[in-house]
Structure 1
């Protein structure tokens, strides 16, 4: 399993549209084959910055999602709202303390 972290920055006036759309599509993303967790975070000091954390069984699952019609629809809508280039990382979890 690995984690995909995506950092997105939105124009302030576009945040409501992003959150509305995320509410509509979050379950579809979460139910994509191989997805085990989807979380959305908002930066505490810059309210225009958001992060998604998604856990995937295999890199192939993420790639299949990224090639899907769902991703195309989500990304086409979301990228119009950005005020900066998004960043993404794929990472392996080495340790978790709870």
Structure 2
């Protein structure tokens, strides 16, 4: 499983518009092949910063979404509302058992 986090800073006057875009597309994204989970987070201290947090079956599934017609509609509508470039990264879970195993094998 691949975990994807995208941090987005919005123009203050565009936050409501972003929430409208998100609300209209969230179920379609969640229903996209390979998407296991997707939620929206808001920064605790800055109400103009949001993050999408999603789980994908694989990098291939995420890339298929990024090449899709849906992404081609959602991303440009979101991108024009930014106050700063987005920051995105992908990660895998690192279970406690793997931490212990790694430390044991040192």
Query: In which range does the TM-score fall when normalised by the shorter chain?
Result: over 0.9
Unaligned ranges ≥5, structure 2: 97-106
Map of 1:69 onto structure 2: 69
Alpha-carbon distance in structure 2 between the residues aligned to 1:12 and 1:44: 15
Q: Which runs of 5+ in 1 are unaligned?
A: none
Q: Greater CA radius of gyration, 1 or 2? A: 2
Could you report, residue by residue, the CA deviation over 1:52-93 in whole angstroms, capped at 9, with x for unpaired residues? 000000100000000001001001100000000000000001
Quote the residue 1:45 is aligned against: 45
Corresponding residue SS for 1:61:
helix
TM-score by length of 1: 0.95
Confirm or deny that 1:58 pairs with 2:58.
yes
Which of the pair is proportionally richer in helix? 2
Write out aligned runs for 1:1-98 (5 A).
1-95=1-95
Paired positions, count: 96
Q: Please give the TM-score of this superposition, normalised by the length of structure 2.
A: 0.88
> In 2, distance between residues paired with 1:17 and 1:78?
9
